Structure 1
């Protein structure tokens, strides 16, 4: 066995591309040409394959790193003859001299002008050299007749079983005729379009952006910025009619989805920039197979009959609101758009149950007020939320099911207690997280919640500030209300809703006493928690809040 360094091969005219996805981990058995990671520039993303088969001993890069041609990305333990194809330039055994440079790529045929009278001419744009690929499919047409295009502007997107790439225009002009359509297969030299333009605008040597080498792929990404994740407004899936927008996923993921018959436009991506991963496709397939979700094509079909069959969803009503009176349209804030998608998924996929209860916080509130008076000069202000965080940690430790998460057929119990809390901001609700709340005192928790709430209002929360929660508290205490049903924040399995406390007459066995009562609303995932456990959790939480000394037990 020999140790082989895997380096970034020629990835076209790109330098310092970012690593956005790791597709293998140390210990994995890798085949030759299997993708190891995905990199992304401002124009395209592409998978970097292994030139050898063997066992992955070490990954030399991590997410967010920048790499260029020749960067060592991994070390593989491989047999001397394990490689199915010659290694790319500069790749080989550790310590071996560099391999000779490859032969230059074939120059594609130049565009074929034909006289058309006047000062302009018809220019034929053909498929340039796209590497060792034949009969690649046209999956997206990016322009239409009448459009004005620039040199190197992408006209179509093609895809093989390994990569997708944009075919650029070799000339500038007006698109007079498109010679291909979605679903066609093309090869080097095939006619793509006819432009009406000036002969001087013809590029000397067009090439796809970028051209894949030795099988590494790229997924098409728009040049103007980040691809918008698919939403519920997409039309029903028809595998014979592409939607016109390529989902943000790598070629291997799109191939995997095609093999399973999964409509990628209906899959919500969990990767960077909403990128769809193989795990997202698997989760979508499992949800459909279990009946938890339906494809839009299936949902749009009326049932054949019988009350036991699930009814297809009716289309969203289209109403001309203006005919009833004056209206004003405002775009939904970005945070609310993101929240809406998550909340909709959580409400539909998680079987919610909510328990309502009351906690007597009369003594705790008096204690809190006393502490604030004692520490007034020090500028320390304790909120009821800080006490709730500490009380919830104690309850989670006693009932660990509430501090777990579903992962496939497994239940993951976490031995850390990170408590999220909903913060109201001008742009919508955000959920910062108190990390390791079990190790912090009430004063420190109060200070951290105040700091995180201010960052949320100022729009300065980082992803790290909002990740890693094991349980969430949503408090409406400062606003009002009695009870509500908070939506669980997946992958958590429970969330505590807290409303405004009020003084009520409570019977003590002899007479009614005025007591300060705090309404509690505990929503829980019925796949993980049962009703008896939820009732015990709420009752224990109420006992802690009634006598806070119990947190010491």
Structure 2
């Protein structure tokens, strides 16, 4: 049996959770056909088949956790199948052929030739059409919707269609009670990924944090605070590009584009999806993607490619509580901005006390990569952009 082991999916974790099998034992598959959907490091990932052939064994069941390098799928060994069929055709009592094999060698000794075919290359088959993306299938599983019993309105099911189907289910099916105390649950992939990232930050980063507050009265209550923060990070990164950078192998690499990793809280754990090249995108596009990320974090998880490529981080924790913090820098990024809860404070305006809307800011950076002066100038440019 030819064994396909769980590959390293590039998320930093050493295991994955089986969420949905797309093949069954005895089924014939083509190269690159989807075998299974797994969840690792907060993302749902489809694992394709590396070979064409017949599935002999599935080594894990749905919701099992397996380590990278462990057997995932066993394929029928073509050579074994063919040798068996050849033996059956010849028969035990058939005398061996007296025909001498031809000599195909041109150097010392002889190379025996045979007309027996050991294997035959098969063209890849067209992958099975899926009526839903991995994220939508995961949502359907959580809501108890069997998509095989329904037809999508378009080419594929959408998240809204799944929720609508869930609402149609009989009420008693959605009110199942579990008697007794629920057993402790294993940490989700999202929380394990968060723990791993925090451990890396603790071991690798030399953190420093600066705090200040800025008067945002001119626009507070009329504009999106998150959008203003994104644009302020964009301007501050132009002023101090070394904070919009990656620090790897003792080398600092400033980024040409501002790709903001936006911390999103959810019951599943912390997600940090990326808003790419914010300078090239309109305010409406950014706000729409932020809402999409928030919904995905709550309902389905966020795709792996959307969690990669951040060059600077933003945590708007003030939407819940807290004024100041010491945000944790996640390597290889260099800096993270934390925005606290807006409060009414007394400040001097034209040498007189006045009550104004103040936004607390906390900026952490990796002191291995940038100086305190660079961090202070970044914060100054950030405050100037927010006050305007």
Tell me, yes or no, whether TM beats 0.5: yes
Which residue number in structure 2 is paired with residue 497 of structure 1?
338
SS of aligned partner of 2:318: coil
Which residue number in structure 2 is paired with residue 432 of structure 1?
273
Match of 2:381 among 513, 516, 540: 540
1:20-61 C-alpha deviation (Å, 9 max, x unpaired):
799xxxxxxxxxxxxxxxx9x99xxxxxxxxxxxxxxxxxxx
Match of 2:363 among 522, 526, 530: 522
- Note if contact 1:386-1:449 (Cα within 8 Å) is conserved in structure 2: no
Distance 2:305 2:218 in 1: 36
- Note if contact 1:483-1:520 (Cα within 8 Å) is conserved in structure 2: yes
Distance 1:499 1:21 in 2: 35
- The 1:510–1:528 alpha-carbon spacing in structure 2 relative to 1, beyond 3 Å, is same
- The 1:222–1:409 alpha-carbon spacing in structure 2 relative to 1, beyond 3 Å, is farther
- Note if contact 2:235-2:381 (Cα within 8 Å) is conserved in structure 1: no
Which residue number in structure 1 is paired with residue 309 of structure 2?
468
Relative to its length, the structure with more helix (as a share) is 2
- Note if contact 1:406-1:412 (Cα within 8 Å) is conserved in structure 2: yes
- Note if contact 2:247-2:331 (Cα within 8 Å) is conserved in structure 1: no
Which residue number in structure 1 is paired with residue 328 of structure 2?
487
Deviation at 1:69, TM superposition (A): 8.1
SS of aligned partner of 1:362: coil
Match of 2:199 among 333, 344, 351: 344
Match of 2:294 among 428, 443, 453: 453
Distance 2:199 2:6 in 1: 32
Match of 1:397 among 223, 233, 238: 238
Q: Are residues 1:355 and 2:196 paired?
A: no
Distance 1:21 1:343 in 2: 20
- Note if contact 2:208-2:365 (Cα within 8 Å) is conserved in structure 1: yes
Q: Which runs of 5+ in 1 are unaligned?
A: 1-11, 23-38, 43-62, 71-151, 154-220, 230-245, 249-325, 369-382, 548-553
What does 1:253-272 align with in structure 2 at a 5 Å threshold?
none
Deviation at 1:516, TM superposition (A): 0.8
Deviation at 1:392, TM superposition (A): 0.4
- Note if contact 1:404-1:412 (Cα within 8 Å) is conserved in structure 2: yes
Distance 1:227 1:65 in 2: 17
What does 1:214-363 align with in structure 2 at a 5 Å threshold?
227-228=66-67, 329-363=184-218
Q: TM-score, normalised by structure 2?
A: 0.56
Which residue number in structure 2 is paired with residue 90 of structure 1?
none
Which residue number in structure 2 is paired with residue 409 of structure 1?
250
Which residue number in structure 1 is paired with residue 354 of structure 2?
513
Distance 1:522 1:484 in 2: 9
Match of 1:387 among 228, 231, 234: 228
1:246-279 C-alpha deviation (Å, 9 max, x unpaired):
899xxxxxxxxxxxxxxxxxxxxxxxxxxxxxxx
Deviation at 1:66, TM superposition (A): 4.6
- Note if contact 2:210-2:364 (Cα within 8 Å) is conserved in structure 1: yes
Distance 1:19 1:467 in 2: 19
Distance 1:534 1:13 in 2: 55
Deviation at 1:228, TM superposition (A): 3.5
What does 1:199-218 align with in structure 2 at a 5 Å threshold?
none
- The 1:68–1:535 alpha-carbon spacing in structure 2 relative to 1, beyond 3 Å, is same
Deviation at 1:19, TM superposition (A): 8.2
What's the Cα RMSD here? Answer: 3.7
- The 1:404–1:367 alpha-carbon spacing in structure 2 relative to 1, beyond 3 Å, is same
Q: Which runs of 5+ in 2 are unaligned?
A: 11-31, 36-45, 72-180
Which residue number in structure 1 is paired with residue 110 of structure 2?
none
- The 1:534–1:328 alpha-carbon spacing in structure 2 relative to 1, beyond 3 Å, is same
Q: TM-score, normalised by structure 1?
A: 0.40
What does 1:88-99 align with in structure 2 at a 5 Å threshold?
none
SS of aligned partner of 1:477: helix
- The 1:481–1:69 alpha-carbon spacing in structure 2 relative to 1, beyond 3 Å, is closer
Q: How many residues align?
A: 245
- Note if contact 2:340-2:360 (Cα within 8 Å) is conserved in structure 1: yes
- The 1:512–1:247 alpha-carbon spacing in structure 2 relative to 1, beyond 3 Å, is farther
